[in-house]
Each structure stands twice: as structure tokens, then as C-alpha cells.
Amino acid sequence: MARWELEAFFGAFQSGTRLSQWEQPAMRNDLVLCCTHGTKDKCCAKYGYKTFKALASTVAEHPLPFEVWESSHLGGCRLAASVIVLPNVRKYGRITPEQALSFLQAEARQQRFLPGYRGSSQLTPAQQSAEIAALTQLSTEARQPTLALISDHGDDQAREIRFQWRLDQQQGELTVHCQATTLWRVDTCADLAQGPTESTVWHAMVNG
């Protein structure tokens, strides 16, 4: 919806008027959102816009089933360029212009692009780390497994997370041990002046 239509749209919404004039046909392709929100963080303007242009031009030049849009804040500014693919809601970080084609080709195959994958949005931070570790362990050049979370036990310092996996005709279970570590980091370019702050991250180790 165009910005200049917003006032009329919200007025109609509040009054209960039919909104049919703003209806749009359903999108036929997946949507790739790339954060370029420079007023939120300069990282997103500097790195996000370059990646957005590369993604858009790659889709224009190749038969890939995506629409590419610029987006406002997606979170994880320190990981710029930040990208979300909808409707699967898969989040990525530090996608470079040089990775645009490989990234889009992987998503077109319904596979995660592991070099920049941040984990399923439905999972906790520890589970996301475990998911990435499991995918890295089990994936081949051509195929990735499907994963189903079986259990998650532990506390805010250590967790044992188990997945059931299936890849072609093979299947099994995989255990991932996650350990919390505290470090000091700068979360966004906007934080450079105030310096690093304390953050908790998870390290994952796979057990067969």
C-alpha cells in the first residue's frame, strides 16, 4: 500500500467501511525482505542496500521464484545485511552481494542457505544454535534433512536438545549439547560510541 493511502485506509478500518479497494491479488512467489533501515542503524544502510540491489538484480537476471523488497528493521543489525524469506519466516544474517545467487538458489530448492542461516524463528536461541549444528552435520551438497524437535532439557547455562531427522530413505535421532557463554560485543553500529555490552550466546556440539 502506498504511504499516501494510509490515512484513508485506517479511517475506513476504524469506521467499519469495506476495505475491498485496497485488496491485492495473492503473491505467487516467496517474498525476500532485506533490511535497509539506515535511520535505525547505519550498518543496515551500508551493507543492507548493497545486498538488496544484488538480490533484486539476481532475480531479474535469473528465473528465480522471488520478489525482493527493501524492509525496515528486522532485528540483528550487527548481522547486516539481515534478510527474511516469507512465508517460511527463515532469517539470515551477513548475506553479502556475492552470495545473492547461491542464497536464492538454495531457497528456491526449499533449502536453507547455511552460511548465513540464523535458525527457525519458531525456536528458542539455544534451539536455533542446535538446529544449525544439526543441519551442518547432516546436510550433503545436494540435500538437507528435515528436522523435528523431540526434546529440550536443561537450564539457562546448558541444554541437551534432541532432533529426529530424515534424509531421503534414511532417518535417525541426533543429540546436540548447547553451552551458554557470556561475551562483550557491540550489537549495532549505533552502539559504537557507547562501546560493547554483555551478551549471552550459545555454542552447540553434536553427538551422533
Q: ω before 115 within 30° of 0 (cis)? A: no
Q: Give the chain's radius of gyration (CA, Å).
A: 20
Specify the pTM: 0.84
pLDDT at site 208: 60
Based on the number of CB atoms within 10 Å of its own CB, is 9 exposed (0-12), middle (13-18) or buried (19 or more)? middle
Taking only the tens of pLDDT, the chain with its 208 residues reads 888 999 999 999 999 999 999 998 888 899 999 999 888 888 888 899 999 999 999 999 998 999 999 999 888 777 889 999 999 899 999 999 999 999 999 999 999 999 999 988 889 999 999 999 999 999 988 899 999 999 999 999 999 999 999 998 899 999 999 999 998 887 777 777 778 888 889 999 997 6
